[in-house]
């Protein structure tokens, strides 16, 4: 029977540490780190995430402002808001909640954010810096996954890590981070043949595709570490991409949904905001 990875608890510990560091930053600089969160439209999941992010800022002493734009906002107006936030000295982090409406070019919007304020780590400059091993702001969810593995003493070196999903937000960066930690990494996606065969060879299995119950216990190696990044609503209940019940009979460690990776994403966002504020203040 697997031990449950308590992401909520680890995230709370990180936030407690951050409280102290944020307060030290404030004393030294005379202002707190500041995060601007931009939401377009009323996607209920986005509304929930944005509210969690703002609450976490409040909890740790980070200043946060929300810009809620109408679904029909033009790309130009959104870009203009980002331009203003880029030059706002109270703001050190800018986060545009995704997904954006169809008529807006997501990559164009991400690329308009000043790389120094890109606390999501999605800007091509940060992605590039990360890939070649330079200092960069890194995507929050994969950072949260790595931090959970470290918190629970999971060795990655020489281990076979299988990442199911190849998104820019989770799959690709998670695979690169595991590679950096000397895992042997495989990336599976919708065109992968014999998914079960591949997942069964994983010592560390990360699943981030958004399909409830995609991975079941019979697809998991005895003793594997299973990280479930999925957040799906099924019959009004939140579930991951992994069938928790059958998977926890095979895994040695497993993240629950909710309470696994989710809270870590938010904790990493706060850390990124403090990091951005520090970098910007040193260079002023
Ligand atoms: N939508 C889903 N995950 C994320 C995230 O980490 N950042 C942003 N900005 N939008 C998201």
Dihedral class, residue 30 (left if φ above 0, else alpha if ψ from -120 to 50, else beta):
left
For ligand 1, atom 11, the nearest C-alpha belongs to 98
Choosing from 120, 261, 263 the residue with most ligand 1 atoms within 8 A of its CB, the one to mutate for a pocket test is 120
Largest CA distance in the chain: 57
Choosing from 49, 107, 122, 264 the residue with most ligand 1 atoms within 8 A of its CB, the one to mutate for a pocket test is 49
CA within 13 Å, CB half, 101? 14
* pLDDT value of position 183: 99
**CA separation for the pair 50, 45 (Å, rounded):** 9
Centre a 10 Å sphere on the Cβ of residue 155 and count the other Cβ atoms it contains.
13
Q: Which CATH number fits domain 140-262: 3.40.50.170, 3.40.50.1970, 2.40.160.50, 3.40.50.720?
A: 3.40.50.720
* pLDDT value of position 221: 98
Catalytic (active site) residue 3:
no
Q: Is the peptide bond before 99 cis (omega within 30 degrees of 0)?
A: yes
State whether the Cα torsion 76-81-89-63 is positive or negative.
negative
Same fold, 30-115 and 140-262: yes
Which numeric CATH code is attached to 30-115? 3.40.50.10860
Domain range annotation of the chain: 30-115, 140-262
Q: Is the peptide bond before 258 cis (omega within 30 degrees of 0)?
A: yes
Residue 98 alpha carbon, nearest atom of ligand 1: 10
| Class of residue 194 by CB neighbours under 10 A (exposed 0-12, middle 13-18, buried 19+) | exposed
Q: Which residues of the chain have pLDDT under 70?
A: 284
First-to-last CA distance in the chain? 53
- Segments in 6-105 forming alpha helices (H): 7-29, 44-60, 75-86
For ligand 1, atom 8, the nearest C-alpha belongs to 97
* pLDDT value of position 39: 98
């Amino acid at each position: 029977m697997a031990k449950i990875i308590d992401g909520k608890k680890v995230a709370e510990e990180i936030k407690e540490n951050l409280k102290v560091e944020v307060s030290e930053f404030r004393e030294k600089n005379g202002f707190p780190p500041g995060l601007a969160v931009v939401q377009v439209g009323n996607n209920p999941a986005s509304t929930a995430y944005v509210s969690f992010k703002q609450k976490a800022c409040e909890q740790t002493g980070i200043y946060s402002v929300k810009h809620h734009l109408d679904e029909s906002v033009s790309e130009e107006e959104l870009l203009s808001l980002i331009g203003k936030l880029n030059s706002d000295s109270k703001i050190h982090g800018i986060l545009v909640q995704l997904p954006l409406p169809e008529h807006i070019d997501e990559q164009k919007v991400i690329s308009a954010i000043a790389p120094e304020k890109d606390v999501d780590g999605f800007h091509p400059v940060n992605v590039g810096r990360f890939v070649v091993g330079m200092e960069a702001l890194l995507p929050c969810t994969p950072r949260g996954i790595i931090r959970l593995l470290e918190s629970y003493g999971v060795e990655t070196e020489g281990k076979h890590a299988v990442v199911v999903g190849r998104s820019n937000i989770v799959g690709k960066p998670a695979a690169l981070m595991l590679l950096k930690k000397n895992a042997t990494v495989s990336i599976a996606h919708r065109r992968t043949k014999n998914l079960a065969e591949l997942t069964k060879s994983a010592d560390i299995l990360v699943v981030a595709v958004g399909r409830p119950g995609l991975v079941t216990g019979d697809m998991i190696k005895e003793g594997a570490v299973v990280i479930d990044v999925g957040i799906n609503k099924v019959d009004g209940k939140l579930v991951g991409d992994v069938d928790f019940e059958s998977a926890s009979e095979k895994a040695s460690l497993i993240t629950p949904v909710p309470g696994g990776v989710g809270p870590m994403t938010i904790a990493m966002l706060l850390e990124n905001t403090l990091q951005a504020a520090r970098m910007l203040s040193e260079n002023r």
